[in-house]
Chain A
Amino acid sequence: MSKLTLKELHEIRDREATRLKKREIHGKTCHIVVAMGTVGIEAGAKVVLNKLVDELEAQNLTQVLVTQTGIVHDDTNAPVVEVYTPELGAVAYGKVDAKLAARIIKEHIVGGKIIEESRIKLED
């Protein structure tokens, strides 16, 4: 390996810091929770989860945290995704697919608008 110049060191630091930042869980403002129960996974929650993470990465939206949870007791609407933003509070979407997942990022997270036709109400 060739020896580093100062510029190369900076490049490594920028690249690796971006990589490490993905592990960061502090200082996030938005939170997306994907329900990954058996029914959820069967209905395609995994595809949705992958789409969400990939979209966020592609658009470099680092303020959003994506986590998984178990069953949310609404199997008829699976896969269920809950989105929390400071402006809109907690909103749940049902029957999410990859297309809707992309819209959630674009319209809800970035655009700040709820996608009313896919919104569901979750029992506590």
Chain B
Amino acid sequence: MGYKNYILVCGGTGCESSRSDLIYRNLIEEAKAMGMADQVQVIKTGCFGFCEQGPIVKVLPEDSFYVQVKPEDAHDIIAEHVVKGREVTRLLYNKAPKSPLEEVEDIQFYQKQERIVLKNCGLIDPENIDDYIATDGYKALEKVLFEMTPEDVIAEMKTAGLRGRGGAGFPTWMKWNFTKQAEGDVKYVVCNADEGDPGAYMDRSTLEGDPHAVLEAMIICGHTIGAHQGFIYIRAEYPLAIHRLEIAMKQAREYGLLGKNILGSGFDYDIEIRLGAGAFVCGEETALLQSIEGHRGMPMPRPPFPATKGLWGKPTVINNVETWANITQIIYKGGAWFASIGTEDSHGTKVFALTGKVCNSGLVEVPMGTTLREIVFDIGGGIANGKKFKAVQTGGPSGGVITEADLDTPIDFGSLMRIGSMMGSGGMIVMDNTDCIVDVAKFYVNFTVDESCGKCFPCRIGGRSLLGLLDKITEGKGTQEDIKKLEEISLAMKKGALCALGQTAPNPVLSTLKYFPEEYEAHIKDKVCPSGKCKKLIHYEINKSKCIGCTACARKCPVGAITGTLKSPHQINTQVCIKCGVCKDTCKFSAIEVK
């Protein structure tokens, strides 16, 4: 007997941390208890992308999009929707029943998106190889093994014009071609899954939702360049992605899609997983290769590039997860198809992890050339809590801020460089008017100082010096001289640092200096923090005309800095106050003000 309903439960890390696994098990239990086990199939999929509204449960064929589902809601979904055919209105997005013609894709969050990399996420069961095969999986591999020559593959990649999604945007076909032409019997293929930018989780979600897409692409690359061994370098902090990869590799081996004589073609290839310990610098390719070899993860001077001398000194292709995830579709749909999407400069789509002060945070895949305004305001739904837009930070600790003035720039590799930021791996953090820009710069510099491997002095000493200066400024002790010093050190780091981590670490400083000079000025000249974020520059005061003397703040204050008698205005002893802000959050009368 056929299934009447299919229930897709998001099994991404975001939703799983909101107990989607329990929702999944409850749905199966409830269906069993009501005798519906043979009429409804419950499937755990990859990330739907709309993480703000998670955990997400989608019921087919009605296409009901349930959001913020709790484990106890499983009963209603089975009892009402599956048994009686009534949508559980209270769980629907917008809480209103949708008209029969309306589709999930009509939700504003999905309207401007185009899914290539994430095409299977939220659709198939990533732990079932048959689901992947059913959606044209391993078709590209067939084509490569039996119909195309390695030269054809390179030519197709060249037509596609795919550029590396790890950040720098180097043409993928060139990397492959260099490695193919490099001399040597032993060559390697490496997948860089050491995603580490703050707020970024594109690669994690891709691996969790569609692991076979990456495996298939790595096999294709191996065949093309003449390698028989691949490595996936992934950080140990991604247990679910590792788990799904392990399952995928096991199933691929059972089918003979990995191992000896793949599909009877005579080609041998296998993949191993290498776990990283979470050092940010290991995302840099030479450091990553060192780490795979068992050494301490430290960058090496380039050249020689990995394409000629990589892993264990052998020619190596190293690509990022998102780059890999594009390749199978380029092969079976053709490079021309891929090139027709996006802009002149950058073809295809890009996945962004949209986070920060935006209404709809989540995973967003848009064609290159989409403007930031469309991403932040149309897809992201604008700034949360009625605050004002201030800037977007792209490219993580290596990128820069983008202001209102550049919001209409179509995003591609070139245009982001021109406005002083970079594509990076795709983290996108939205800031509102309560975020202090100097504090933001400090946050990123602090991050790179922490993550610097310490090998070269421009990064090791330069980073520390930048941080010291920024500390000084946020404490109200900065001078005009410090601005100049910031710029000088930044330039020295850009020129002198060994790897991209150190070369790009000053970017957040330079870009905030360029776009928000007045905010630095305010900290230095007027000794104020306009956003009220820098603790040394603010103090809390009680507005006597608003305070009714309810004593709520005084009871909450952890250091007893607030005094006053019942029903008469209170006061804060600024000598004792630690500026934690608890009083402000507690006060129901907005009587506590930041000065």
Residues of A in contact with B (beta carbons under 8 Å apart): 1-6, 9, 12-13, 16-17, 19-20, 22-23, 25-26, 31, 34-38, 41, 49-50, 53-54, 56-57, 65-70
Contacts and interface: CB of A to CB of B under 8 A. Distances in A.
Contact of A5 (B130, B133, B263): B263
B264 A25 contact: no
Contact of A23 (B6, B85, B86): B6
A39 B315 CA distance: 71
Contact of B135 (A1, A2, A20, A37): A20
B142 interface: yes
A22 B1 contact: no
Contacts of B61: 23, 25, 65-67
A16 B133 contact: yes
A9 B85 contact: no
B135 to A, nearest CB: 7
Contacts of B84: 36-38, 41, 68, 70
A50 B259 contact: no
A23 B60 contact: yes
Given A12-B133, A67-B100, 13 more contacts: A2-B256, A4-B263, A6-B142, A17-B134, A22-B3, A23-B61, A37-B84, A49-B4, A50-B39, A54-B1, A54-B2, A69-B85, A70-B86
Interface of B: 1-4, 6, 39, 60-63, 83-86, 100, 103, 124, 130-131, 133-139, 142, 146, 254-257, 259, 261, 263-264
B85 A6 contact: no
B142 A9 contact: yes
B63 A36 contact: no
Chain A binding surface, main DSSP class: mixed
Contact of B255 (A1, A41, A57): A1
B4 A9 contact: no
B88 to A, nearest CB: 11
Contacts of B131: 16, 20
B257 to A, nearest CB: 7
Given A1-B255, A38-B84, A70-B84, A12 B130 contact: yes
A86 to B, nearest CB: 14
Contact of A67 (B62, B254, B257): B62
Contacts of B135: 17, 20
Contact of B134 (A20, A31, A37, A50): A20
B257 A36 contact: no
A65 B103 CA distance: 14
A50 B63 contact: no
